Amino acid sequence: MLYSGSYSLDLSCTDMNANSSKPSNPESSKSSSDSDFSTDAPITSTTTQTAPASSQGQQMWGGRFSEATDSFVAAFTASVGFDQRFARHDIQGSIAHATMLKECNILTADEVATIIDGLQQVLREIEAGEFNWSIALEDVHMNVESRLTDIVGAVGKKLHTGRSRNDQVATDIRLWLREETDNIIELLVRLQSGLLDLAEQHTDTIMPGFTHLQTAQPVSFGHHVMAWFEMLYRDTERLVDARRRINQMPLGSAALAGTTFPIDRTITAELLGFEGICQNSLDAVSDRDFAIEFTSAASILMMHMSRMSEEIILWMSAQFNFVQIPDRFCTGSSIMPQKKNPDVPELVRGKAARVFGQLMTLLSLMKSQPLAYNKDNQEDKEPLFDCVDTLTGSLLAFADMLPNITPNVDAMRAATMKGYATATDLADYLVRQGVAFRDAHEVVGNAVALGIKEGVDLSDLSLAQLQQFSDAIGEDVFDYLTLEGSLAARDHLGGTAPNQVKQAVINGRARLKAFA
């Protein structure tokens, strides 16, 4: 269930998108100008300190230890260099946790007010680039808590009551990934909307449809674009479904067994916009299924985009000359002046392998871990970050590029005239005249052989030449051998007839509204 009672967070210092019901616009908050398409770079307000471990490095948990951590080990085990990317979400979770502790009479209202004020100051320092990150403090959680204690004093040490870094980081990941998933879904909808516009413009533009990369049957370019749309639509459905499992709250599970304090997890879930609560504390702190599922969905999406890229790359070649994409998505050659290289599609095709690799990394990371949390899980973040950045960048590029494809209508039509694309139409014509399909198949095969010998298309053979193979062929046969006739004949749901493609575009726009 979605917890939507009376609790709310005071997030006046920043837009923290606690519920993520209205995803932020990735274009307004992210840049696609970097060469690796990074869209959410880690917060690196100052150079991370690499000082030797000291009492500072042990002040959070050092009571049991008799010596300081080796400086190399401190640097080797630290994650603050990358998990500071969670800073906003970590503070968001801490504000919700502190509010819940107040509501459950575990901390006083004054204590929580002081803690929240301090956390908001920490966030302002981070956003202003004034925060000093310390490797000695290991991770984003301890850096934030240490600075909070510097600001508000001893009361800051009470924030961690009833929780562990194990459930804290699990919560941070889910908050961050939920927000990124919403951004990706928004980009997908934008891309699909552009494809619908492109398909609508080209319902009558004829091109060859291929099987085995050989000319098969005539289709419209709009119909082909709608095939891309359907791939992406399934991808969107997968991400929407995966979001439900991302949006479950582990906070309150503590280290692995829960807490002895009388907490109310429904309060925290409501404040953070989670639609459910993880039901088992052991599973909650160690589960990374949601990250693997997201990366799996991302891999399928990148596979689809790679297939589209391959087609665009082929179609832009001189041998096909089917389409052009704007110059801003291409580069030239340092030695060959004539070259216009489709770099963006080529890079998206290559980056698909990168995302597949991150999926394998996460699966391999989790396959041998016993319950509950293990330090191995520190290695889950960088693959997930890279997956999100790569996917987001690829979608940004595609959302601008694909709707601006310009088909070469004449070249597409000329290519369709090669390869006897209407052969099946002739076979279907004979079947309608009462000829068994297998016999019709043989008749058409003979007609194609004659066309190859004469160097002409089926529609260019004379009636007498066609009738030598079957007396069921009449003068009306040529109505079925034209490219337009072939398209129009496939007039059913999912077919390539222009009116069916137009209706598919209308239906597509209606279907996308479900993701608004």
Q: Catalytic site residue 202?
A: no
Given 29, 317, 333, 462, which residue is catalytic? 333
Residue 17, phi-psi category: left (phi > 0), alpha (psi -120 to 50), beta (remainder): left
Query: How large is the average pLDDT for residues 335-355?
Result: 94
- Distances from the Cα of 206 to the Cαs of 363, 402, 403, 416, in angstroms? 44, 18, 18, 7
User: Does 57 have pLDDT greater than 90?
Assistant: no
User: Does 14 have pLDDT greater than 50?
Assistant: no
Q: What are the residue boundaries of the structural domains of the chain, listed by start?
A: 46-57+68-161, 166-208+216-414, 416-503
Question: The tokens of 307 are what?
Answer: 């297939």
Residue-wise pLDDT tens digits, 231-288: 999 999 999 999 999 999 999 999 999 999 999 999 999 999 999 999 999 999 999 9
Q: What is the pLDDT of residue 511?
A: 98
Query: How large is the average pLDDT for residues 111-132?
Result: 98
CATH of domain 416-503: 1.10.40.30
User: Does 59 have pLDDT greater than 90?
Assistant: no
Domain 166-208+216-414 belongs to what topology?
Answer: Fumarase C; Chain A, domain 2 (1.20.200)
Query: What percent of the chain clears pLDDT 90, i.e. is strictly above it?
Result: 82
> Any idea which residue has 């807490």 for tokens?
259
User: How big is the CA angle at 259 (ends 255 and 261), to the nearest 5 degrees?
Assistant: 150
Class of residue 411 by CB neighbours under 10 A (exposed 0-12, middle 13-18, buried 19+)? middle
Q: Residue 405: name the closest of 217, 209, 194, 193 by CA.
A: 194
pLDDT-derived band of residue 29, with 50, 70 and 90 as boundaries?
very low
User: How big is the CA angle at 211 (ends 205 and 213), to the nearest 5 degrees?
Assistant: 85
Residue-wise pLDDT tens digits, 74-83: 899 999 999 9
| pTM of the complete model beyond 0.85 | yes
Count of all residues that appear for the chain in the document = 516
Q: Catalytic site residue 364?
A: no
User: Does 143 have pLDDT greater than 80?
Assistant: yes
- Distances from the Cα of 437 to the Cαs of 267, 459, 477, 514, in angstroms? 68, 20, 16, 43
pLDDT-derived band of residue 516, with 50, 70 and 90 as boundaries?
confident
CATH class of 46-57+68-161: mainly alpha
Given 6, 12, 21, 212, which residue is catalytic? 212
